[in-house]
Amino acid sequence: MISRLWFAGMLIACCVQIDLVGFSAQAVAQEAKTKRIQPTNNAARTQNRNYRSNCNDMAGMRCAEQYPGSDCGAKIMAADASFRYPKGIIVVTRKCGMKIETPLIPQHSIWFTEGGIWDVSSPITVTHGGIAFIGQGMNDSTSQPGTLLRWVGPKGLDLVTIHGTAADRIDRIVFQDIILDGGNKARYTMRAEKIDTAELSRVRLRNGAVASFYAVDSTGWKWYNVQLTQCPSFCAVLDWGTGGFYWAGGTIDILTPNTNPGFLIQGSANALHVQGVEFDASETGAFAGYIQINGFDARSAFPGAPLGGVGAPSMVTITDSSFFQHSTSLPPAQGADILVTGTALHRSNKVVIARDYFAGGGISQAAVKMDYTANPRLTDLLSNSHTASTLIVTENASHVSEEFVTTATEARCTGAACGDRLDITHGRAGEFFLNGALQIGSYVRTSAAEPASSGVVRLGAGESACWRNKTNTKDICIKDTVDDTLVGDFRLESYPFSNLGAPADGTIRYCSDCEISSVCAGGSTGAVAKRIHGVWVCN
């Protein structure tokens, strides 16, 4: 992953610079003097004796606690300004202080080498690529805390902003082993725009007043074991222009009453993949749903969203994940655990939901609802205890397919367009079941076939449909010609005259002892019997 390779490279770079340059304390002091920034005196360095620090400046590393400033943010920025190398690491310990009041706009990476809670009252803004923020884990315990950056500033600002420009997009941004908490006051706990490559690894995001994570016009995001929790509004929003997004492992724990879905993907976004994530509903009160995939016709309504992105998501896959409805929460307001939709002008397209587990808890209406979407697919799902069905399909959805979906305690599908979907299942004895007509040949290529009844096999011009016998030695085929030719031998089942019975008109049987005559009669060597107007005719 980006973070591990990058961090190892930075440590090697630091050591290489020390060995080759022979960097000394005097050299560091001289460099700081050149930058007009002096490390603080020894008394200031030991102002917090509860946490000892053995941190010392090196060629590619700075110790924030050794630089002047009224708060840890000011010290970090002073250390950042002291570098004479393009990229380095700023080490932050508790001796730096536990308040970040000065805005952070670093050009170098920041490494929190101790756990603890840093109260942040001014935004952290990233405008340069190749930067990492690394902490000491996501642990919330008081005895062994991870690194927590908690917003305590005014409402409406963002805790972390990563922002490029149209001419200078940002890449290689990493956040690792850290907790970011918006305090339900920050607009977004993390906001990203015009990004091309970025990574979150073992990061917990929570308590953003509008969203804990918001990305727009950003591509190449990779998430590994990311946790979204305590979401008073959206947990995460992937707005238009987001592509190449990959989330592997993690959780969404909505936990608090919420009128917005936990994870929203909207606008013209594509190539988004979620895998191996656990989704948990609100414990009490309002609950909107886990995931919503939606389009828009005008512009995004999110605060700070740039113009553009009209459309709907395409090529979205949600796989190997689990969805658990909490026993005390309300049914999802969007009508299902996952809602796949768009608008009449901009339908979501090619959404695949595969190998997922849905537990409705007798509360949620359905695992998935399809509305204003085309070509969605459900495959290899296990779903149970939903009050309506596994799938709801409205009249606005088209080309919906279910493939080998297992429903334990609920109907497979409800809604106006259930009869139009493709549903493939199998039985205990290996039977293969297809709910619609099987159409082969040029009809598949041209989509020119008229609607067919269940079980119909349609042929293109000049094509054949064949059935092979039990011994695998001969075919009987129907060929599409002017007269619909039957190719191969065709044998009628044999009946004696006494057993012809009285089936419906139009039935044809072979009578083994009938004579050839206008009205069938027994006592002869056999004839083909046709049921016409209630009479067997053998002429």
The predicted pLDDT at position 16 comes to 33
Q: Which of 425, 421, 366 is nearest to 397 (CA)?
A: 421
d(CA 460, CA 479): 9
Q: Show the tokens assigned to 2.
A: 């980006």
Digit-coded pLDDT (tens) for 327-374: 888 999 999 999 999 999 999 999 999 999 999 999 999 999 999 999
What is residue 439's predicted lDDT score, i.e. its pLDDT?
59
- Domain positions in the chain are 1-209, 281-448, 494-537
**8 A C-beta contact, residue 332 and residue 286:** no
pLDDT at 254: 87
Is residue 472's pLDDT more than 80? no
Instruction: Please tell me the distance from the alpha carbon of residue 419 to that of residue 436, in angstroms, as a whole number.
Output: 8
Q: Which residue has the higher pLDDT, 83 or 120?
A: 120
pLDDT of residue 430: 72
Residue type, 372: Y
Q: Is the Cβ–Cβ distance between 104 and 71 less than 8 Å?
A: no
Residue for token digits 């459900």?
A: 378
- What single letter denotes the amino acid at residue 440? I
pLDDT at 206 over 90: yes
Residues 6+ apart with CB under 8 A from 51: 93, 94, 95, 114
Checking phi first, is residue 329 left (phi over 0); if not, alpha (psi -120 to 50) or beta? beta
What is the per-residue pLDDT for 190?
98
How far is it, in rounded angstroms, from Cα 144 to Cα 115? 7
DSSP letters for 252-276 = EEEES--SS-SEEEESS-EEEEEEE
For residue 428, how many other CB atoms are within 10 A of its CB? Answer: 5
How many other CB atoms are there within 10 angstroms of residue 367's CB atom? 30
What is the share, in percent, of the chain residues with pLDDT greater than 70? 80
The two tokens of residue 40 are 């603080």
Is it the case that residue 285 has pLDDT exceeding 70? yes
Please tell me the distance from the alpha carbon of residue 381 to that of residue 359, in angstroms, as a whole number.
Answer: 11
Burial 106-142 (b: 16+ CB within 10 A, else e): bbbbbbbebbbbbbbbbbbbbebbbbbbbbbbbbeee
Q: For the segment 88-145, what is each residue's pLDDT rounded down to a tens digit?
A: 999 999 999 999 999 999 999 999 999 999 999 999 999 999 999 999 998 877 777 8
Per-residue DSSP letter, 47: S
> Which residues are 275's β-sheet partners?
248, 319
Chain mean pLDDT for the chain: 85
Q: Are strands 486-487 and 475-479 parallel, antiparallel or unpaired?
A: antiparallel
Amino acid identity at 493? E
Q: What is the pLDDT of residue 483?
A: 59
Note the pLDDT of residue 438.
60
What number of helices (H) and strands (E) belong to the chain? 5, 42
Is the whole-model pTM more than 0.85? no
Q: What is the mean pLDDT of residues 265-287?
A: 92
Phi-psi bin for 437: left (phi > 0), alpha (psi -120 to 50), beta?
beta
Better-scored residue on pLDDT, 434 or 180: 180
The reported pLDDT for the residue numbered 199 is 97
The residues facing 124 across adjacent strands are 104, 160
Quick one: average pLDDT of 398-403?
94
Q: What is the pLDDT of residue 444?
A: 46
The confidence score (pLDDT) of residue 409 equals 83
* Kind plus residue range of the DSSP H or E element containing 86: none
Residue 165 Cα distances to 195, 218, 393, 430, angstroms: 9, 11, 41, 57
Decide: 291 and 247 in contact? Cβ < 8 Å.
Answer: no
- Concatenated DSSP letters of 155-173: TTS-SEEEE--SSS-EEEE
Between CA 206 and CA 255 the distance in angstroms is 11
For residue 520, the number of C-alpha atoms closer than 13 Å in the C-beta half-sphere is 29
If pLDDT is split at 50, 70 and 90, which confidence band does 445 have? very low
* The pLDDT of residue 440: 53
Question: Tens digit of pLDDT for each residue in 239-248?
Answer: 999 999 999 9
